[in-house]
Structure 1
Amino acid sequence: MIDIVSRVELALLKADKTKANQIKCAISNVLSSHRYQQTKNLTALEYKIINELKKDNTIIITRAGNAVVILDRHAYIKKTEDLSPPAYTSIPGDPTDSFRKAVRQLMESFVEESGDVQTARISKRLKYTANSTSPELYCLPKFQKPGIPFRPIVSITNSPTSHLGRYIAKIIKPLTGQRSSHTLSSEGFLADIKDITLAQDDILVSYDVQDLFTSIPIQYTCHALLQMLSNDVTLKDRTHLSPYHVTQLAKFCMINGNYFHFQGKFFSQNHGAPMGSVLSPVLTELFMENLEEKAFSPTGPLFAIKVFKRYVDDIFAIIQKGSELPFLNHLNSLFPKKSCFTIEVERNGRLPFLDILLLRKQSKVVSQVFRKLTNTNTLIHFQLHHPEKVKIGLITGMVDRAHRLCNPQFLPTELGHIKRTFLYKGFPSKLVNSCITQRLRHLHGDTAAREPTQDIRITVPYYQGLSEKIQTISRDLGFTVSFSRSANLGSMLRSDKVKLHLDQRPGAVYQITCTCGALYIGETGNSVSHRFAEHLRSLTRYRNAEARHMGLDVRTRGRPRTLEPASVMQKALDSSAVAEHTVACQKTATDLCVSVRHRELHYKRREIIEALYIRNNRTINKDAGHAVSEAWLPLTAGHMCLHANPTETHHLTAASIADGLSPYDYTREPSFP
């Protein structure tokens, strides 16, 4: 209920107030009159098996493509560590805090020079967000390749460069994709080659860069970036930063920020860009375009190439037979010891490229859908707890793909495969045939125009029965409703990344309880332990100032205090309602404890949830928090999930804060209830 209310409130913040209130009242009435409980897609036995797998410390559970795979833990760690050196160098400790300060200092200097607002916001976020964590390395096995090599991924989620990298990538992105060889999708690629006529001595080939991300020369790429930005007359429309500023920030992220932790040890990446950073794909694309420009330089060797198309590092070419290997050698000579290209030549007139199988048919290239040998055809079963729209969407999505990628002579075969796949997953034959027929009519323009999309879109969790009622309301009141995905096996089972300690995870609504029974509700984008420590520091500042006010000798860290004790005491009380209550109640820090009421990363939803808890409990908060519609009052007034229990077991106290907590928890996740 809390999640639905917060999502509806957020979606309607900017909507017309009258219409928003109508929608809230209608949804509130449905929630009040409907008993809803999320149906589980797994049986008790399946949950038991999942819990046993999660507790098994001899295995690592990860993914390969769309499949969940189980690996021996020792073998996984050994194979990952074999990636070092020369790719990685061990470093003595976690540099996150020092790097956070360094990148913030660099951004602040650039803000002073340029006045860029977005850079200032990111810098401010780094200043006040204390729960930045080190990037983390994990590996995904590539089962389709000989020897099952590992693909190293560096997750930068919640790292000091996560927001900065996203901003810099947004600035650089418009510089790429301008070359005629650039391919955005399989559909666009097929459109580009459909009119090509093959000669007898033409051959279909594909080239691929081995370990592209970790092989690109960063210094060279940043130099090319600076030149391109300097010639970009539209840069001022995207940012107030200069070309030099953008390049330096990109370089700082890719060189100084190119570190990670793995199994409790820290490493720096010696060259290349980390796969996992949002900035890496943009810089990689820029490098590949620069490489392509060098490959076809007017002063370079000439090759009889009829078609040259590239999607990131996957290159398709139609080239004169006998020139394919010399061209490969030419590509490898451009950046020796950096970029290593491999080649695949058509066999029996067939060549896979992206998700397409290309075939020679007389003097033309035709296509059909290509599935790797490792493809598992993993789809949801019809009986599982998912919206009907999702199930129908799976069928129409696969029909769309077949229609886009298959030449007409191969389409019936692919549609037959789609039918068999969904029938195997328990879908009714009548539904499958109807969806395919209707979708083909739509694709051929034989259906009425779709209804216009509504301005208001609300996304809520799916509850069978309840969600269908909300969908009916959406049609009556004129808004669009969609449903968020529930957890899948991959998210439940994966153990290839270290779990942050529960008290170190960011984003939560929390309650602080005093031994007298008083209750405080708060929210934080930091970790709960960090926010609790801030409340305790306010109390400590008050106590120290109080002691000085009474003439007692107080030893504190740092420079001698110059502010009047009374002023410090008042500021401490103003900064924390918890400190104010503790002083008034004549309690100490040991009388306080904190617990998490709700986990939520989204700032606005967190504020709304905090306000719902404040409204439904007697608290010591100084205000009621975010304004929440009165339409929810009949629903929330008697709802037990919003009533905080001051006697519940708390998992964090002042003593545990003093002891310190490791931000990384190398143990397993808690079991499912």
Structure 2
Amino acid sequence: MLDRVLSPLIQKTKSYLRDTSDFLGKLDALGKVEGTIWLATLDVASLDTSIPHQQGLQATELLLVNSGIYNKDEIIFFMEILKHCLAWWRYIDDVFLIWRGDLDSLSAFREAINNANDDIKFTMTADLHSVNFLDVQIIRSQDRFLTRMFSKPTDRNQLLTFDSFHPPAVKKSIPISQFTRVCSTVGKRLVRTDMRPPQRQYTFLGPPREGMFRCKGCAQCRFVLTGDSFCSMVTNRTYKIRGHHSCETSYVVYMLVCPCNLVYIGETTQRIRDRFSQHRSTVNTKNSVLPVSKHCLEKGHSAEDLRFRVIQHVPQPRRGGDRVMLLKRTEVQWIHRLKSLSPNGLNRDFDLHLFI
């Protein structure tokens, strides 16, 4: 209730800042600023816990009745401030200040406002050339101000993974909104520089790299064939791997490769690392029925000699349907495409009835 009553009144004060755009507009409206000036920011230390209750009530009452009764000493003090203070803009407990004069007079001003109340204290940062305020760095350039993006060292922008279940439009809008923010905040001469921020800030914006990668957390990682493509020894063609896959990926068509460079194409709804572990188990138990273990038994290969990669992930159909059936059909297509039927590969056959 108190916020609803006071917010409209606070917004009418000359020092009020609505947001970064409002701050940039006021900064631009200053025009040319000549002479020696200090750019400074003030921050109220622990504002919410520092406001004395009784004095807060008095200030609220004063604001509500719009009273402006000052004695002579107060007027002299305020007039002295106006000689030096070119701008005083506040966003909640953060204040941006442009001070004409030397650092001693600015420090004296800070001491004066700190001595006004025993509970509310201001911390200050001041510099002749640049200062950081909100998410903006303000830079003094001759008689103008330049602005650029600013983020604290503790900021972390990895907010959303691309494979989340958010609507595609939401994920695609993130880069647009980020670059729009750069263009609206940064001066024209600095836009090109700020368009290339540290990579860590924007890695969450786009999709992860395509290809097969190790999860770096399982016993099967050392058997992974990494990369974003693979070459068939039979067709002599190179195939791109679409999507980002690791040992954790499920519902995949995968490829096993033996030391003879023969391949086996299979499908699984399990995590690929679990399925590969089963293949290794059949080799270790000398299973002479299944094609991969039988080949290893005949050629003297061990389970340590096998390697694997994911070649395609089959997602859940958006409009519904049998995902497992789609997975099996995709397996058949890859067996045919790579010509992995024996004797060119380790697959025995495939089922064309899946397409009827």
When the two structures are superposed, what TM-score results if normalisation uses the length of structure 1? 0.28
Match of 1:269 in 2: none
Shift of 1:402: 0.8
1:386 partner amino acid: H
Contact 1:206–1:353 (Cα < 8 Å) also in 2:
yes
* Superposition deviation, residue 391 in structure 1: 0.5
**Mapped partners of 1:420, 1:211: distance in 2:** 31
* 1:77-156 correspondence runs (5 A): none
Which stretches in structure 2 are left out of the alignment for 5+ residues?
210-315, 321-356
Q: Which residue of 2 aligns with 1:311?
A: 91
For the structure 1 residues 392 and 329, does the alpha-carbon distance in structure 2 shift closer, same or farther, using more than 3 Å as the test? same
Report which of the two structures shows the higher radius of gyration computed on alpha carbons.
2
- Offset at residue 422 of structure 1 (A): 4.2
Shift of 1:367: 0.4
Shift of 1:356: 0.4
Structure 1 regions of 5+ residues with no counterpart?
1-166, 233-289, 430-462, 468-673
Q: Using a 3 Å threshold, how does the CA distance of structure 1 residues 334 and 421 change in structure 2: closer, same or farther?
A: closer
Q: What is the CA-CA distance between 1:183 and the residue it aligns to?
A: 0.8
Q: Give me the whole-angstrom Cα distance separating, in 1, the residues matched to 2:12 and 2:318.
A: 49
Change (3 A) 1:424 1:204: same
Matched, 1:338 2:128: no
State the SS of the aligned residue for 2:197: helix
In 1, are the aligned partners of 2:175 and 2:205 still within 8 Å (CA)? no
Where 1:409 maps in the other structure, the secondary structure is: helix
Greater helix content: 1
1:356 to 130, 136, 155: 136
TM-fit CA distance, 1:364: 1.1
Task: Give the counterpart letter for 1:223 in structure 2.
Answer: Q
Distance 1:230 1:426 in 2: 53
Cα displacement (A) at 1:370: 0.1
Alignment of 1:561-576 (within 5 A): none
Instruction: Tell me the CA shift for residue 425 of structure 1.
Output: 5.0
Alpha carbons of 1:220 and 1:421: their partners in 2 closer, same or farther (altered >3 Å)? closer
Residues 274-327 of structure 1 deviation map (CA, whole Å, 9 limit, x = unaligned): xxxxxxxxxxxxxxxx9xx99x94232513111111111211111122321011
- Structure 2 distance, partners of 1:308, 1:466, is 58
Inter-CA distance 231–373: structure 2 relative to 1 (3 Å threshold): closer
- Is 1:387 aligned to 2:221, yes or no? no
Listed as ranges, the matches of 1:115-264 within 5 Å are: 167-194=1-28, 195-230=30-65
How far residue 169 of structure 1 moved from its aligned partner, in angstroms, is 2.2
Alpha carbons of structure 1 residues 464 and 409: separation in structure 2 relative to 1, 3 Å: farther
Helix, strand or coil at the partner of 1:298: helix
| Alpha carbons 1:382, 1:425 under 8 Å: kept | yes
Structure 2 CA distance for partners of 1:313 and 1:426, relative to 1, 3 Å: closer
What is the letter of the counterpart of residue 75 of structure 2? P
Residue 255 (structure 2) aligns with: none
Q: Kindly tell me: are residues 229 and 210 of structure 1, through their superposed partners in 2, closer, same or farther at Cα, counting changes over 3 Å? A: same
Partner of 2:194: 414
Give the drift of 1:419. 8.0
**CA–CA distance in structure 2, aligned partners of residues 171 and 223 of structure 1:** 15
Shift of 1:333: 2.0
- Given that residues 309 and 316 in structure 1 are in contact (C-alpha distance below 8 angstroms), is that contact kept between their aligned partners in structure 2? yes
Q: CA deviation at 1:384?
A: 2.3
Q: Relative contact order (C-alpha < 8 Å, sep 6+): which is higher?
A: 1
Could you tell me whether the CA contact under 8 Å between 1:380 and 1:425 is conserved in 2? yes
Q: Distance between the aligned counterparts of 2:206 and 2:183, measured in 1?
A: 24
Question: Are the counterparts in 2 of residues 387 and 464 from structure 1 also a CA contact under 8 Å?
Answer: no
Q: In the aligned structure 1, how far is the partner of 2:36 from the partner of 2:6?
A: 41
Identify if the C-alpha distance between structure 1 residues 182 and 339 changes in structure 2 by more than 3 Å, giving closer, same or farther.
same
Q: 2 CA distance for matches of 1:183 and 1:216?
A: 20
> Secondary structure of the equivalent of 2:115?
helix
CA deviations on 1:89-140 (whole Å, 9 max, x unpaired) are xxxxxxxxxxxxxxxxxxxxxxxxxxxxxxxxxxxxxxxxxxxxxxxxxxxx
Q: Is the 8 A contact 1:383 1:426 kept in 2?
A: no
2:87 and 2:317 map into 1 onto residues whose CA distance is: 51
1:192-591 correspondence runs (5 A): 192-194=26-28, 195-230=30-65, 297-300=74-77, 302-303=80-81, 304-319=84-99, 320-322=101-103, 323-335=105-117, 337-346=118-127, 349-417=129-197, 421-422=201-202, 426-427=206-207, 465=318
**CA shift in 2, pair 1:393/1:212, >3 Å:** same
Residue identity in the other structure for 2:107: L
| CA distance in structure 2 between the partners assigned to 1:415 and 1:391 by the alignment | 19
Aligned equivalents of 1:377, 1:328: Cα separation in 2: 34
- Partner Cα separation in structure 2 for residue 226 and residue 372 of structure 1: 37
Aligned CA RMSD, in angstroms, stands at 3.1
- 1:203 maps to a residue whose letter is W
1:340 alignment partner AA: K
Amino acid at match of 1:310: R
Q: SS of 1:334's equivalent?
A: coil
Shift of 1:351: 0.7
For the 8 Å contact 1:207–1:315, the answer to whether it is kept is yes
Q: Give 1:373 deviation, angstroms.
A: 0.8
CA spacing shift, 1:307–1:229, aligned 2, 3 Å: closer
CA gap of 1:408–1:464, structure 2 versus 1, over 3 A, is farther
In the TM superposition, residue 346 of structure 1 has moved relative to its aligned partner by: 1.7
Deviations 1:243-271 (A, max 9, x none): xxxxxxxxxxxxxxxxxxxxxxxxxxxxx
Shift of 1:398: 0.8
User: What SS does structure 2 have at the residue aligned with 1:183?
Assistant: coil
Change (3 A) 1:178 1:466: farther
